[in-house]
Structure 1
């Protein structure tokens, strides 16, 4: 019986997908804005119709999150995204500056490689498909192996919807035999022009090391500061709403709560009233031991799980209806495990003297795996919000759940599942990624300023000036050359 090497099959499949998608993209590049909008409208319609089914598939396959929240994410990635990007000009002349006489023309990037995480597989696939097509790009997806089926289905639905509305066949592809070698092949093959990487730190670093343009996003370790003027009940509600949304699988979700001593008791009581459970030091240690493997890597079995599941895994008993587990921490970094990113229903808790100490703790947390990403602050003092705007992040989310604020559900930020962390976080952009990040801009620039004559032309009379270099005769030049050659011969250098 003939056998085949799975890894080789995977690499060959990746090559075929890239070649087919690249060919399709060269055709899509000729489409006008009306044709592109017709395609996207059909993709959005199909995504909306399948939002629940895809959410169910994702939860069943990965075990992460909640169906109702993944449904909302699928709708954000399609319907809400379309509302935001519809006015964007991504085809042909996008700006004509009559004053400065510069015409800007949009050109597609080409073929994209979309790396998809297991935490948000279907929503990320829908989102990247739509922003790729909006900019007239093709895209090939590399799915996470643990979310293969639902990612494949989302990619197929987006492809078929695009083709049904007039897009070339194979414009959207997805690897069905995911391996690291297949992903590496796509990262480095000539057909791929840009990488959009959403995933773990190692994958994002690999994308930036592939030798071609990449938009990668790092992890978030979002601090949430409740300042003394905050509406405490609202702040606590926002934090719990965010942390329980899809059981904390979005990287913009809060990871630690920082409160001032003067309001600590009120905050703790409010968290308890709204369904949080404060663990004892012993319980916190048990949970921390289960949450992490190989140092500070999240245990996949507890990613996106309910508080009940996390508690049961650690062997601790919690009150019925508990939404989130909270563990107090006295520091950040080694020895304080809850100070690291936790994509599940667990929060760290810090008490500080004042806002200056809150600043210090926030910066330490951000430098512990979330620099450049996001920070949440709850305050009724606009000046305090601006003080925290000085922190090393690119999303300062005020009086809103940080998950919802970061991805554009509760704020006017661009709806997105690729949240740039800027140079601080090792990312090429600090923005929520949109189709405008996926185009090249060509410029036609007319001359509008007169240039002065060159110095050489203006000084043509210097040739006749005595003592100038150009007044040296040919005989003098030959004499100098002979002297140099004679000197070199004497030194043995010629």
Structure 2
């Protein structure tokens, strides 16, 4: 660079960080069309929205909801250029706004999400929004300092810019809200492509967050979203030049697509969490935990208990205990009937069984009715004995039925758990008082979450220690995401000054 170019760059940076609010020269603005950048309506925090707009999606740029990826990303980039000149205290305000709104509107938004997606349980939809307050924010940001004879170095954590986010239908608004907290706490903005079946509630949440944020700190479009999401819009986000990073929570297909994008990706991929119950386990606690985790939101959680391998010595005791904690045991004929209803044979030899998607996330009583069984009120989970050939064992089904497989001993149970987790490295659970068995299973499974003597939710700080996130990145290795997941490490070095005397 020549001297004049360097001076121009320095001046641009100074303009950005000048007095907090960026000036017109702070960054290169998006191209303007009809008086507004890229055709995006420019409105103050208190400006009225276009008349006739419905609750989400019809007006491009309506409090963060856009028709096209280019518009949404351009708005998020413009917002990032403003946010980067603001103090961390403003990010903390955003975090507080999202947490407070999720808690205050949990019942309303939980009900709307259930009505739209038609999967899961209302009480758990509400609870998932109430616990958003447990997601970490700006308090996780830190600096590492090194001081010595050669001077001073400071390592800080800086934002990437615009992050492209893909959210699942299973936890549409909770996943979005948790990601917003982590990403904006780290200084980024985000453009979401929600699952089409949960886009309505996701858009409503984004609009509400953006309105409150604009009122609090005067910035718009820190969060943008595609109002009518498609596979094509997801691909456009993956490949957009101004999207600097991806965060994807979804099934195998979208995970593979994100990993093929030529940019950093945090991918929360599939799981098929197994449970091992050995002869030393607290049987009542094991039964209670399996029912609680397997039934949570009708087993929509990717960390949820999907199949159980119980050693023969305690098998019958476990089966009896589960009925005392909200489970209903199906007999052999009923298990067979449910299996035939839930799965069609593979389309080709060696392929996957075809899951009946109309059964995903339905209540246990609904599943039971489909095979002519009436269960007692309060039944949370169906369960029954199967062998490993039953498709409920190898497939990541998302419904409140858990197959229980009899194992010869703890070693065989652990080996079966390893086989049917499929190497996803997601989540594994054991109920045992034998530290050796816990250790053997932990080393073999090598999963991101490994829960001992509790329900799956304990792995995310709900009944266990730790913090909450709805994005658990297994294929890319970040684990339970937090604000530092969405930062770059930068080192600033001063040589031979401010050194220790």
Mark yes or no: TM-score above 0.5.
yes
Greater helix fraction, Structure 1 or Structure 2: 1
| Other-structure match for 2:410 | 355
CA contact (8 A) 1:36 1:134 kept: yes
Is there any run of 5+ residues in structure 2 with no aligned partner, and where? 1-56, 347-351, 497-501
| Other-structure match for 1:312 | 369
CA contact (8 A) 1:113 1:194 kept: yes
Task: Report Cα offsets for 1:206-251 as digits up to 9, x if no partner.
Answer: 1111221111111121111112111111111111111222111111
Q: Tell me, in whole angstroms, the C-alpha distance in 1 between the residues paired with 2:354 and 2:248.
A: 19
Distance change >3 Å, CA 21–CA 383, structure 1 → 2: same
CA contact (8 A) 1:117 1:198 kept: yes
Structure 1 range deviating more: 375-384 or 99-108:
99-108
| Other-structure match for 2:288 | 237
| Other-structure match for 2:140 | 88
TM-score, structure 2 length as denominator? 0.80
Check if 1:43 corresponds to 2:98: yes
- How far did residue 137 of structure 1 move? 0.6
| Other-structure match for 1:467 | none
Larger radius of gyration: 1
| Other-structure match for 1:395 | 449
- How far did residue 12 of structure 1 move? 5.8
Aligned counterpart in structure 2 of residue 420 of structure 1, from 473, 478, 490: 473
CA contact (8 A) 1:235 1:399 kept: yes
Partner-residue secondary structure (3-state), 1:348: strand
| Other-structure match for 2:427 | 374
Runs of at least 4 residues off by over 6 Å:
none
Q: Tell me, in whole angstroms, the C-alpha distance in 2 between the residues paired with 1:259 and 1:337.
A: 16
| Other-structure match for 2:78 | 23
Distance change >3 Å, CA 336–CA 246, structure 1 → 2: closer
CA contact (8 A) 2:186 2:483 kept: yes
- How far did residue 132 of structure 1 move? 1.3
Aligned counterpart in structure 1 of residue 382 of structure 2, from 322, 325, 349: 325
Q: Tell me, in whole angstroms, the C-alpha distance in 1 between the residues paired with 2:105 and 2:242.
A: 31
Aligned counterpart in structure 1 of residue 485 of structure 2, from 414, 421, 437: 437
CA contact (8 A) 1:187 1:210 kept: yes
- How far did residue 252 of structure 1 move? 0.5
- How far did residue 264 of structure 1 move? 1.3
Partner-residue secondary structure (3-state), 2:124: helix
Tell me the matched-pair count.
425
| Other-structure match for 1:53 | 108
Is there any run of 5+ residues in structure 1 with no aligned partner, and where? 1-5, 422-426, 449-494
TM-score, structure 1 length as denominator? 0.81
Q: Please give the residue correspondences for 1:329-348 in structure 2 after superposition, counting only pairs within 5 Å.
A: 329-331=386-388, 336-348=391-403
- How far did residue 314 of structure 1 move? 3.4
CA contact (8 A) 1:371 1:392 kept: no
Task: Report Cα offsets for 1:169-218 as digits up to 9, x if no partner.
Answer: 11111111111111111111111111111111101111111221111111
- How far did residue 35 of structure 1 move? 2.0
Partner-residue secondary structure (3-state), 1:372: coil
Q: Tell me, in whole angstroms, the C-alpha distance in 2 between the residues paired with 1:202 and 1:419.
A: 17
Aligned counterpart in structure 2 of residue 157 of structure 1, from 208, 220, 239: 208
Q: Tell me, in whole angstroms, the C-alpha distance in 1 between the residues paired with 2:387 and 2:260.
A: 37
Q: Tell me, in whole angstroms, the C-alpha distance in 1 between the residues paired with 2:236 and 2:66.
A: 7
CA RMSD for the aligned pairs?
A: 2.2
| Other-structure match for 1:184 | 235
Task: Report Cα offsets for 1:57-106 as digits up to 9, x if no partner.
Answer: 111111111222112111222x111xx4342116xxx1212148431122
Distance change >3 Å, CA 256–CA 61, structure 1 → 2: same
- How far did residue 323 of structure 1 move? 2.3
Structure 1 range deviating more: 185-194 or 383-392:
383-392
